Amino acid sequence: MAVGGVEEDFGAIGLQQRLHPRLAGGDQQRQARVGEVDRLARHGVDDFVRDAGRPGRMQKAHSGDADGGFHREDVRAWSRFVVAAGFRARRTTMSEPFVPIRGLHHYAHRCRDCEETRAFYEDLLGLPLVHVIRSDVVPSTGERCPYVHVFFRMADGSHLAFFDLGDDTAAEPSPNTPSWVNHIALRVDSIDALRAAKARLEAAGVEVLGITDHHVIESIYFFDPNGIRLELTVPTASAETTARHAREAHAAVESWTREKAARRGGGTGSDQAVSVRAAGAIGADSASSADSKAASEVSDWGAMDA
């Protein structure tokens, strides 16, 4: 069969063996789900999308209702199948572009206590609390779980949002990810504003790391009461430098992908040497442009960094 322009042969047995061994064997319901996934494999992504759109299908899948159609395990198996079959190729073969994504509406995370979180984001960071949802049932899945969903608005109209599930429990940190990786970066107007924010946070007893100079942005880092790492940042790169980075972005990703493959192969490889040289060239270009930065227009976006 063809998925996204890539020819692959995945039958029910192949899916069980390659993607989700737990689907092998078991009761009739589970075997029926295997058949469902196999049918999707034969008929492709479009059937999956149409089936997922039937009323209640994805809601029951997310809540783990095996009797309602897709089980969430099956959805995960299908996701892995799509990756294995080269679904990424559709990026260059789709005839119609995706609908325009205009910006961030909200980013949601779990909080330990909504009032503690409100005091931090509204009283300290100055983000007004603008909306609260109180419910006993999750609308998307139908799951029963009493919660409060609170929204804090930023100056551009987007929001940071939090769920208080009423059990005084914060989300656990990812066990396989360093604490500096997952974070939310929020932009401020200037270096002076960044310094003022650092002083205000420290006066409130918040431990702050930085100011850190990333050459394209300068940033400070700190944690909220829920253990979420926050970054306040100001872009410092010129519009010219930012445009050059955008032109080089795909090549940089391809270089990193080759470097990872070389690492997994146990050798350095010529590709890794190329990627190191490319990184050095980019660093040299950034350094050489630093002298002209003050005379150039500063971009409204800088490359993100940890």
Per-residue pLDDT reduced to its tens digit, 69-95: 455 565 566 666 656 555 554 555 568
The full set of domain ranges for the chain reads 2-93, 103-171, 173-235, 239-295
Per-residue pLDDT reduced to its tens digit, 48-75: 445 544 555 555 555 555 444 455 565 5
- Label residue 36 by pLDDT band (50, 70, 90): low
pLDDT for the residue 142: 96
Sole residue written with tokens 């029910």? 12
- Label residue 286 by pLDDT band (50, 70, 90): very low
pLDDT for the residue 63: 53
Per-residue pLDDT reduced to its tens digit, 155-205: 999 999 999 999 999 999 999 999 999 999 999 999 999 999 999 999 999
| pLDDT exceeds 80 at position 97 | yes
Per-residue pLDDT reduced to its tens digit, 243-275: 999 999 999 999 999 999 999 986 544 444 444
Question: Which residues, including other chains, have CB under 8 Å from residue 58's CB and lie 6 or more apart?
Answer: 52, 70
pLDDT for the residue 62: 54
Beta strand pairing call for 106-111 and 159-164: parallel
Per the model's pLDDT, the better-predicted residue between 183 and 37 turns out to be 183
pLDDT for the residue 204: 98
pLDDT for the residue 6: 37
In angstroms, rounded to a whole number, what is the distance separating the alpha carbons of residues 221 and 211? 8
Question: In what helix (H) or strand (E) does residue 133 lie, and over which residues does it extend?
Answer: strand 129-137
Integer CA distances (angstroms), 269 to 39, 214, 260, in order: 41, 29, 10
pLDDT for the residue 17: 47
Tokens coding 149: 């969903």
| Selection from 55, 58, 56, 16 nearest residue 34 by Cα | 16
pLDDT for the residue 299: 56
Angle at which helix 45-52 crosses helix 28-43, to 10 degrees, equals 130
| pLDDT exceeds 90 at position 140 | yes
Average pLDDT, integer, range 207-233: 97
Per-residue pLDDT reduced to its tens digit, 291-305: 344 334 555 554 444
Per-residue pLDDT reduced to its tens digit, 146-160: 999 999 999 999 999
Query: Is 173-235 in the same CATH topology as 103-171?
Result: yes
What are the percentages of helix, strand and coil residues in the chain, rounded to 5?
A: 45, 20, 35
- Yes or no: say if 163 and 149 are a contact pair by the CB < 8 Å rule: yes
Question: In what helix (H) or strand (E) does residue 60 lie, and over which residues does it extend?
Answer: helix 57-62
How confident is the prediction for the chain on average, in pLDDT?
76
The two counts, helices (H) then strands (E), for the chain are 10, 10
pLDDT for the residue 251: 97
For 103-171, CATH number? 3.10.180.10
- The fold of the 173-235 domain, in CATH, is 2,3-Dihydroxybiphenyl 1,2-Dioxygenase; domain 1 (3.10.180)
| pLDDT exceeds 50 at position 4 | no
pLDDT for the residue 265: 87
| Residue 218, φ and ψ in degrees, nearest 5 | -120, 140
